[in-house]
Amino acid sequence: MTDTVWRAIAVDDEPPALKRLAALLAEVPGVRLVGTYDDPREAVPAIERERPDLLFLDIQMPEMTGFELVAALGDECPLVIFVTAYDEHAIRAFEVNALDYLLKPVQRERLAATLARARERLSTRSASEIQAQLHAVLRGTGAGAPARVAVRTGTRVLLVDPATIDRVEADGNTLTLHAGRERVEFRETLTAFEARLPPARFVRVSRSTVVNLASVRQVEPWFNGDYVLILADGAKVTTGRTYRDRVRAALGLA
């Protein structure tokens, strides 16, 4: 047994499940539970603050799914051990992609085996490798572009339906999400946030703007082959030279 102590956080909307997992982890040398949360929205800032090595994460939660929580954390997400009531087919999918999981109700022996696998990964793999694997699994389970996107504003996490977003504008690493009359500012790179949006619906039109194709109401030619896009809310967005071809293709322009 290694002397290293792995720090862990558990998130599950069922308090009895959290209590059982906490009791089992208390018996395990080398793992220290630093927080339990039954509201995933409250867990996000705690995970960012505590930076645990392990995250025990339920999948089906009413306010925010486990997949949405992972998306909200982005590259700050630790190694995830899913705690799931999924059927055997879904479990096999996780296993094939080499992600750890625990089936509810959590059993002591299964927890020990999962932690052994987690220790091996934490000891031998870099954070970037773990993140790449996690994102691959999310894509494989159809969760790469979730029904809602998580947006962190201070200590809150907003869950936004991508269909309501008209455009997202960047000023450095500060983004402004425009959804009708609503404006939401948050910290993230435009490239990272664009990757979390459904690619069939959104297009990068310039270095600083991503647009919802469904919000484009009119297209006007501009100088040097660029375009001015007039959106549903009346905003005018000019395409950038590097992005004009992808805009043309996305909008079906000749």
The region that residue 198 occupies, defined by phi over 0 for left and psi between -120 and 50 for alpha, beta otherwise, is beta
Q: What is the mean pLDDT of residues 77-103?
A: 69
State if pTM tops 0.75.
no
Q: What is the mean pLDDT of residues 150-179?
A: 89
- Is residue 222 domain-shared with residue 124, that is, in the same domain? no
Q: Within a domain: residue 169?
A: yes
Q: Within a domain: residue 97?
A: yes
Q: Is the pLDDT of residue 132 over 80?
A: no
Decide which of 215 and 253 is more confident. 215
Cα separation, 18 vs 58, whole angstroms: 10
Q: What pLDDT does 54 receive?
A: 92
Q: Identify the band that residue 129 occupies on the pLDDT scale cut at 50, 70 and 90.
A: low
Q: Within a domain: residue 82?
A: yes
- Is residue 119 domain-shared with residue 200, that is, in the same domain? no
- Is residue 132 domain-shared with residue 166, that is, in the same domain? no
- Is residue 91 domain-shared with residue 127, that is, in the same domain? yes
Domain count, the chain: 2
- Is residue 62 domain-shared with residue 104, that is, in the same domain? yes
**Structural domain for 215, as ranges:** 160-251
Cα separation, 211 vs 231, whole angstroms: 9
Of 112, 140, 168, the domain-final residue = 140
pLDDT in tens, 77-87: 888 888 887 76
pLDDT in tens, 150-159: 888 877 778 8
Q: What pLDDT does 7 receive?
A: 95
Cα separation, 31 vs 4, whole angstroms: 9
Q: What pLDDT does 96 receive?
A: 45
CATH number at residue 174: 2.40.50.1020
